[in-house]
Structures are given as C-alpha cells and as structure tokens.
Amino acid sequence: MIDQAGAVRIELTVNGRQRPLEASPHQSLLSLLRDDLGLTGTKACCLVGECGACTVSLNGRIVDSCLILAVEADGAELTTIEGLAADGPLTSLQRAFLEEGAAQCGYCTPGQVMAARDLLGRIPHPTKAEVQEGMGGNLCRCGCYYQITEAVLGAAAAAD
C-alpha cells in the first residue's frame, strides 16, 4: 500500500523480530536496514552487487542487499550479521575468523561471515576450492583471503 508521501508499508521479519515498516518505492533493502532500522553491521561499498559487503540472508538465501528493493523483501525473513550472535557468545564461524586472523580492517567481515555461513549451510564440508569459489563474491582489500578460507574450513571441521 502506498501512502500519500509515496512510502510503501511492508512487513519484514528481521533477525527473528517482526518489523512493520515504511519504505520508499526506490529504497534498497540495504538502506532500509542501515538507515531505518539502524542495523549498520551490514556494510555499504560498491552498491552494484560486486563487493559483497552488504550480504544478508533473505528467506534462507544470501543476497546483496544493495540490489534488492526494500519493497521486494515484503514478507521476507531476513538474517543480518546482528542476528548471528544475538544471544551473546560468538558463533563458531565468527570465532574462527578471529582465531585465523581473517578480519583485518573488518569492514568486509560481516559480509564475509554471512557468505561463509550460507556456504557452510549448503556444503557442510567444503574443499578449499569450494570455499574460494563460494566466497568469490566478497571482496577483501586487506587481502585476508587465505585466512578467511582457513577460518571457513576451520569452522567446518569444528562443527563435526
């Protein structure tokens, strides 16, 4: 439904919590998360779906939230980086990132963690090549790629 100001009423489940919201028709999901919900853990960089910094999970699949309109996500279940360790302790994947030195500046890290979580959901015991391919859409200019790969492989091994 579009109101007079052009905003559209939508409802999302974000990190397990139902959120009735209003979004502009042209507003990206990324902007909705960061600017309206204050969930700034999801990062903005290229805004054209190339860098992976804004990766979130939408109905169980990862997407670049910069490429999804907020109104497209109406009714969806969303998990952002803030949803991973909401109860306090870090997930084994997040711990593995720290132990392997896989976060330097950390700006790409939330997107990397979300992509790795999705990868391990699909392939619980990936090979090194599968990790590198699966994480190929997430840029890290600090160049932590090997350490990220080791973290993902380490988290997979720890899940046994």
Partner 1 sequence: MSGQIGVSAERVGGPARVTGAYQYVGDIRLADVLHVKLVTLPCAHARIRSIDVSAAERLPGVRLVMTAASLPQPVPRFGPQFQDRPVLAVDETKYHGEPVAAVAADTEDAAEAGARLVRIDYLELPPILSVAAALAPGAPLVQDPELRPGDPLAETNVLREHPVSWGDVAGAVSDLVVEGTYTFPMVTQFAIEPHGFMAAPDGDGVLIWSSIQHPYWLQKIIAEILGLPLAKVRVLAPDPGGAFGGKQHTKFEPLVAFIALRTGRPARLILTLEETFQAVRRMSAEVRVRTGFLSDGTITFREVEADYLLGAYADIADRAASKGSHISCGPYRVPAARIVARSILSHTPPATAFRGFGAPQPNWAVESNMDDAARALGLDPVELRLRNLARRGEEFIPHDTTVDGDWEQTIRRAAELIGWGTPLPAGRGRGVALGVKSGPTTGLSYATVRLLADGSVILYSGTSDMGQGSRTLFAQIAAEELGVPIDRITVVMGDTAVVPYDQQTSASRSTVLMGNAVLQACREIQAKVRAMAARLHGISETAIVVERGIVRLPDGPVTIVEILKPGLGSLGGEVIGNGESRKEAEPGHPLSGSAAFYEFNCTAVEAEVDEDTGNVAIVRHVTVSDVGKAINPLQVRGQDEGAAIQGLGHTFMEHYIFDESGRIRNLGAIDYRIPTSMDLPVELQSDIVENADGPGPYGAKGMSEGALICTAAAVAAAIRDATGVVIRDLPLTPERVWKALSERPLATAAAHEVAQRRVPG
- The site for partner 1 (CB under 8 A) is made up of 24, 34, 38-48, 50-51, 53, 80-82, 84-85, 90, 94, 97-101, 103-110, 113, 131-133, 135-149
| Minimum gap (Å) between residue 76 Cβ and partner 1 | 19
Which of 51/62 has CB closer to partner 1? 51
| Minimum gap (Å) between residue 32 Cβ and partner 1 | 13
How crowded is residue 125: how many other Cβ atoms within 10 Å of its Cβ? 11
Which of 42/57 has CB closer to partner 1? 42
Which of 68/117 has CB closer to partner 1? 117
Residue 124: which residues within 8 A CB-CB, separation 6 or more?
Answer: 156, 159
Token pair for residue 25? Answer: 């028709």
Residues in the chain: 160
> How many whole angstroms separate alpha carbon 148 and alpha carbon 31?
27
Residue 106: which residues within 8 A CB-CB, separation 6 or more?
Answer: none
Contact 62, 77 (CB under 8 A): no
| Minimum gap (Å) between residue 77 Cβ and partner 1 | 18
Which of 43/73 has CB closer to partner 1? 43
| Minimum gap (Å) between residue 101 Cβ and partner 1 | 4
| Minimum gap (Å) between residue 138 Cβ and partner 1 | 8
| Residue of 95, 35, 96, 21 lying closest to 65 (CA atoms) | 35
Which of 101/121 has CB closer to partner 1? 101
